[in-house]
Amino acid sequence: MVEKTAFGIDLGTTMSVVAQVNAAGLPVVLPNAEGSPTTPSIVLFEPGHAIVGAVARESLATEPDSAVQLVKRHIGSGWTFDYSGVSYRPEHVSALILRKLVQDAQMLAGPVTQAAITVPAYFSDPMRAATLRAGELAGLDVLGLLSEPTAAALAYGYDRRPVGATGVVIDLGGGTFDVTVMQYDGADLTVRATGGDAYLGGANFDKVLFDYFVERFEAAHGVDINDPYALSIEECTLVSQDWLLRASRAKHDLTAREHTSVSLQAAGLTLRVDVTRADFIAGSSILLDEMTEKMVDVVAAAGVTPAEISVVLPVGGATRMPAVRARIRQVFGVEPDTSIRPDEAVAIGAALFAAQRQLERGGALVMDGGARDYLEELSVTDVAAHSLGISAFESAGGQQRPVMTALLPRNTALPFSAERTFYTMRAGETRIVVPVLEGESADPDMCRRVGVVVIEDLPPGRPAHQPVSVTMSLNRDGILQVSATDMTTGAAASTTIVHEYLADSGGDAADVLARTLPVQ
């Protein structure tokens, strides 16, 4: 039976995009029901249904208590958005966004339910697990998770197919920043190093202009809208959302123009503010310096110098800002390649990846022969974004202290598995707890605890210093599995790390609504 090609979904912090490989073997972006290639990743809750996209974005200033944005910054955490007595976790809100994207794409593509979803390269295990959960709640058969910069590199490589080239993807989206160095060799794409910042993106540049507005308004009228005594909480919320939207528009204006004007209103007062590109760049210097530091660090981690980079791909709408492009040129000494639209590159790469996974599964796809051959040969090797290990004790100065012992170092090629033997400390232990950590510090308190593996019901009277074998594995999608075996008794425990707040209770109201709530 002929199979339709799956969707590639760029589930973005501020904007999301869907693409699909057509019969000619070309990846194409599928516009939403409103005719736009991008859909704002914003959800407005109303009684009995949810609205996703442009209408929801416009409601931020008028209905801030019912609309939620930037949810990707919370994915993998216990954060909730409460509406009408229901607490929606990030994966629930993301599922509603995914359902809207797929619902609209199906109007053009037909009943496709398979998809590959992209995630920032730096995403941790809880973040990846929550994204996978969002896809499942949206009713999707998730073929795999792919790092956003890797997807963009795949899109470029499919079009150009370079051999022996070292490239770097600079991915500055609405809420996240990724840097990834990769090696091209025909149909082989190998990531060498990656890094990023979960809290650096276009929204931060919006905040620069917002703060400039606040400063100018206070200078003109003596009213600080951030002062809780100057405005009521309700008015402060409304004004802040309105000014942030105006800041975003001004940012886009300053990409094409040297200056722009913004009309502001608060507390019955008005002010017209003139903003120049030079003002904006000056206020953004700290953000640009943070980007530079991350770019230099990741390139060094890849074992190359900026001069050895032959391809620089700017990805994400925020890379259109002239100051960002200038900083990229300053670091690498080459002109960024803009042959693929920055806000569509990730979705295009995801669509290629999805088709490749379908062919790998034996899917009967109708596709141009040359494109099929390339995708069947395609090999994508990603890396671990963070070090993974366990908390163990080591002797130091005659005392025992806990340390983070990494089994899977950062930037390890995936898939990867490692095993190491540890020893129990005390006699008489009938239960062994293995804390699983993620992070780059030797101090366990500075790392993220992503779960535990527990060996239960060991026989009493055991002596101290018994060997315990711990094995950690990351699959090619970056999903973690950990096992531990007591070598003395053979007792074992094994688990794919499942985070408590992601466990499906079966009757959770937010789970049900994420699957069934009508989405517009």
Q: Tokens 């950590």 correspond to what residue? A: 437
CB distance 287 to 205 below 8 Å: yes
DSSP per position, 236-248: HHHHHHHHHHHHH
For domain 388-498, which CATH number applies: 2.60.34.10, 3.40.630.20, 2.40.50.140, 2.50.20.10? 2.60.34.10
Phi, psi of 201 (to 5 degrees): -170, -170
**Of residues 417, 466, 408, 478, the one with CA closest to residue 437:** 408
Q: Tokens 């094409």 correspond to what residue? A: 256
Neighbours of 57 (CB within 10 A): 21
Distance of alpha carbon 432 from alpha carbon 482, whole angstroms = 14
Domain parsing of the chain, residue ranges: 7-200+288-381, 388-498
Q: Does an H or E element contain 403, and which? A: strand 399-408
Distance of alpha carbon 68 from alpha carbon 45, whole angstroms = 8
| 3-class DSSP state of 253 | helix
- DSSP letter at 383 equals B
pTM attached to this predicted model: 0.86
Supply 366's token pair.
């109708």
List the beta strands (DSSP E) in 287-336: 311-315
Q: Tokens 């009309």 correspond to what residue? A: 263
Distance of alpha carbon 143 from alpha carbon 362, whole angstroms = 13
Distance of alpha carbon 237 from alpha carbon 386, whole angstroms = 37
| Reduced DSSP (H G I as helix, E B as strand, rest coil) percent helix, strand, coil of the chain, to 5 | 35, 30, 35
**Of residues 121, 105, 135, 145, the one with CA closest to residue 354:** 145
| 3-class DSSP state of 85 | coil
Which residues have C-beta within 8 Å of that of residue 429, sequence separation ≥ 6?
Answer: 458, 462, 466
Structurally, what CATH architecture does the domain formed by 7-200+288-381 represent?
2-Layer Sandwich (3.30)
Which pLDDT tens digit goes with each residue over 288-309? 999 999 999 999 999 999 889 9
Supply 153's token pair.
């590199």
Q: What is the pLDDT along the chain (520 residues), one digit of tens a residue?
A: 678 899 999 999 999 999 999 989 899 999 999 999 999 999 999 999 999 999 999 888 788 889 999 999 899 888 999 999 999 999 999 999 999 999 999 999 999 999 999 998 888 888 898 999 999 999 999 999 999 989 999 998 887 778 888 999 999 988 889 899 999 888 888 999 998 887 899 999 999 999 999 999 999 999 999 887 888 888 888 889 899 999 999 999 999 999 999 999 998 999 999 999 999 999 999 999 999 999 999 999 999 998 899 999 999 889 999 999 999 999 999 899 988 888 899 999 999 999 999 999 888 787 888 888 888 888 888 888 889 999 888 876 667 788 999 999 998 888 999 999 988 888 888 888 888 898 899 999 999 888 888 888 888 888 888 888 889 898 888 888 888 888 888 877 665 555 545 554 445 888 888 999 899 9
| 3-class DSSP state of 423 | strand
Which residues have C-beta within 8 Å of that of residue 341, sequence separation ≥ 6?
Answer: none
**Both ends of the chain: CA-CA distance in Å?**
32
DSSP per position, 96-160: HHHHHHHHHHHHHH-S--EEEEEE-TT--HHHHHHHHHHHHHTT-EEEEEEEHHHHHHHHHHHHH
